Amino acid sequence: MKQLEGRVAVVTGGGSGIGRALAQGYGAEGCHVVVADVQDDARDETIALLEADGVTALGVKTDVTDTDSVEALAAATIERFGEVHIVCNNAGVGGGGLIKDQQLVDWKWVIDVSLWGVIHGVHHFLPHLRAADEAHIMSTASVAGLTAGPGLGPYNAAKYGVVAIMETLHHEMERDDDCNVGVSVLCPGVVNTNIITAQRNRPDHLKRAKKTGAAGKDAKKFNNAIAAALANGMDPSDVAACVIDANKNSQFWVLSHPEHLDDIVHRNESLHTATNPTLRDGSIGG
């Protein structure tokens, strides 16, 4: 998509972090922006920032784990603007800990948000995107969707799934002569966001039983290390700029952290040679 001005962009998880940066970035390009987020105050704050910059914006409370909620988001977008051209399936949550210490509610919560949120977004918005003269859909995965380090089992599983869905969709859209829909997947490294505090929006029925002893200490130590890394991570606005550039240039892979390319190549070389996977020194999890 070479022309973004006047287009309608939808961003899930738009209340903070990469989502807010995407909303502001597309707004700066002249798009009308729909901000979807489950957290009312964060969503309203993003809307206020957009409107202060003269952007036409709509906020919609959205739980991406709920198919009816995402369907309502699509309906609200069409009702307000009549069409949609850009969708960023960005909402996601994380969580740390070894697989042996995970509870089933950990798997369900992370996969419901980070994987099913993308599935719901693709399912409910793709018909509208295919009806547009040109459109683009992007989903936020992670470098953890390209190489799996220890301590992030549910997150890795969700992000690998997001990459697979978007790569499949890319091939399908390339072969679909009845529409003009570009596809991208964002695979960032560490970004300065508040994803580590995503527990604030975790529903009561999916909250984990408190771990004590060594498992609890290990999880706390891991999460503290993640929090420290996030504080020194890339600015979300720089990540959003990579996404928008990929949108303009019909680029599938959005690799905002090129320093992790060697980790990805290392992983793929073990696949190519059928040798057991290893982690490079200094890699995520290495």
Range with the lowest mean pLDDT among 142-146, 156-160, 181-185, 229-233? 229-233
Q: What pLDDT score was predicted for residue 210?
A: 77
245 pLDDT higher than 90: yes
Per-residue burial over 206-224, b if 16 or more Cβ lie within 10 Å, else e, is bebeeeeeeeeebbeebbe
250 pLDDT higher than 90: yes
Residue 152 in tokens: 């992030």
Q: What pLDDT score was predicted for residue 66?
A: 98
Q: What pLDDT score was predicted for residue 200?
A: 75
Give the mean pLDDT of 62-83. 98
* Residue ranges covered by each domain of the chain: 8-260
Residue range 8-260, CATH number? 3.40.50.720
CA atoms within 13 A on the CB side of 209: 5
User: To the nearest whole number, what is the mean pLDDT of the chain?
Assistant: 92
Sign of the Cα pseudo-torsion (41, 46, 49, 55, in order): negative
Q: Are strands 135-140 and 181-186 parallel, antiparallel or unpaired?
A: parallel
Output the pTM of the full model. 0.91
Q: What pLDDT score was predicted for residue 196?
A: 61
282 pLDDT higher than 90: no
59 pLDDT higher than 70: yes
Name the active-site residue from 155, 166, 247, 257.
155
Give the mean pLDDT of 9-20. 98
Q: What pLDDT score was predicted for residue 201?
A: 79
Q: What pLDDT score was predicted for residue 281?
A: 81
Note if 160 is an active site residue: no
Contact (Cβ atoms closer than 8 angstroms) between residue 116 and residue 39: no
103 pLDDT higher than 70: yes
* Residue percentage of the chain with pLDDT more than 90: 80
Give the mean pLDDT of 69-96. 96
Sorted by sequence, the CB contacts under 8 Å of residue 38 that are 6+ apart come out as 61, 62, 63, 64, 91, 201
